[in-house]
């Protein structure tokens, strides 16, 4: 019987358990995306907590792919020494780290990107802050190479894997979604054409890092948005990736315009509200041969354990619980199966904007009330 604490392998990468720290923006980098010592220390703390795989915050592959302040960048070879410090901070604690590659496309802004944002089509939809510029085919080809360059740097810097962010309404997802992709050329129309950008990126990335280096993808099971990517087409995309040789697929869902069904839902107070992306993840798992990860509202060990035992997914990903309790993995492994203390308030993101780094504000208030300094 499979357990949460099995040792497993993705491609050639050995993992100590089936728990994954899913990517989240930390807001700890320099303005140009250069990794900071603060971020390296934060990743070291997460790795010390025992999680099997740590996926970095989303790293933009081109400067105009940036969305938020303090966002990580992987677009510059001059970042090599700082990037190596991130990987080394995790490896010193016995952990493994994956660099998540992204271009935010139409979900960026002129203020963040330094110029008009780009997207598959020049349409204004609710998830975009402003009207983007439509990408010509020659620039699409250039962006494919930028993803490959980011992956090459990840391997050179000592990261253990890369993940292509094809979810949450960012550029790859914008190509996949019929809501944001209105093109009439070979990148638009039917699902195969809309998946062309993702497949070209995967092939270029694979060529840059080799067959023995894990290349994963984060995919929406659905955009949870009228006119957006739906489950049946997401399953088709997952099959395409599987046929291409993807090493794992992490299933999420939603965009910033998806309301209560966004990627970071609030008010997860009961077991019934947990694992909200499990149904689409299980559908995708039944359609592919590669390992499948599921993220979304995991708080109870018995739910995590049940997903693994029933083989509904191969790995379970958490993000916000590790912000409050970075050692949650070791707690569960020790036999203390208490529910994660995260209350899904999303307050952790506010200090990322105002103070240069995320942290759990609820935990800070509680500690200060007891006279405990952070």
* 203 Cβ neighbours under 8 A, 6+ residues apart: 244
| 170 in active site | yes
Tokens linked to 365 = 């208030």
Distance of alpha carbon 340 from alpha carbon 283, whole angstroms: 27
**340-346 contacts, C-beta under 8 A, 24 or more apart:** 340/298, 340/299, 340/300, 342/268, 342/299, 343/268, 343/269, 344/264, 344/265, 344/266, 344/267, 344/268, 344/269, 344/297, 344/320, 345/266, 346/264, 346/266, 346/320
Q: Report the b/e string of 112-137 with b at 16+ CB within 10 A.
A: bbeeebbbbbebebebbbeebeebee
Tokens linked to 92 = 């010193």
- For 155, phi and psi rounded to 5 degrees? -65, -45
Rg (CA), the chain: 19
Marked catalytic residue, from 42, 58, 128, 170: 170
Distance of alpha carbon 155 from alpha carbon 220, whole angstroms: 26
Catalytic residues: 170
């Amino acid at each position: 019987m499979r357990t949460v604490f099995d040792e497993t392998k993705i491609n050639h990468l050995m993992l100590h358990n089936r728990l994954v720290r899913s990517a989240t923006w930390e807001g700890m980098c320099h303005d140009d995306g250069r990794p900071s010592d603060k971020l390296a220390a934060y990743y070291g703390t997460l790795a010390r907590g025992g999680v099997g795989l740590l996926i970095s915050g989303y790293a933009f592959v081109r400067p105009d792919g940036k969305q938020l302040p303090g966002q990580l960048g992987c677009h510059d070879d001059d970042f090599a020494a700082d990037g190596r410090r991130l990987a080394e901070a995790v490896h010193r604690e016995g952990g493994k780290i994956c660099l998540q590659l992204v271009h935010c496309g139409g979900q960026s802004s002129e203020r963040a990107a330094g110029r008009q944002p780009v997207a598959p089509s020049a349409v204004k939809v609710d998830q975009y802050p402003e009207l983007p510029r439509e990408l010509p085919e020659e620039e699409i080809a250039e962006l494919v190479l930028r993803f490959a360059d980011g992956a090459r740097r990840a391997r050179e810097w000592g990261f253990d894997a890369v993940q292509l962010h094809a979810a949450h309404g960012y550029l790859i997802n914008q190509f996949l979604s019929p809501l944001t992709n209105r093109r009439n050329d070979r990148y638009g129309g039917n699902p195969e054409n809309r998946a062309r950008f993702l497949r070209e990126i995967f092939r270029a990335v694979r060529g840059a890092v080799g067959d023995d280096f894990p290349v994963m993808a984060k995919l929406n099971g659905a955009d949870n948005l009228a006119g957006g990517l739906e489950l049946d087409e997401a399953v088709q995309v997952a099959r395409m990736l599987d046929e291409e040789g993807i090493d794992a697929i992490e299933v999420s869902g939603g965009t910033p315009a998806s309301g209560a069904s966004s990627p970071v839902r609030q008010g997860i107070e009961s077991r019934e509200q947990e694992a909200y992306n499990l149904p689409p993840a299980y559908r995708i798992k039944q359609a592919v041969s590669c390992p499948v990860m599921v993220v979304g509202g995991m708080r109870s060990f018995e739910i995590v354990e049940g997903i693994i035992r029933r083989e509904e997914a191969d790995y379970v990903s958490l993000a916000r619980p590790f912000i409050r309790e970075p050692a949650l993995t070791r707690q569960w492994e020790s036999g203390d199966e208490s529910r994660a203390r995260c209350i899904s308030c999303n307050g952790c993101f506010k200090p990322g904007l105002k103070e240069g780094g995320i942290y759990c504000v609820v935990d800070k208030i509680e500690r200060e009330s007891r006279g405990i300094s952070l």
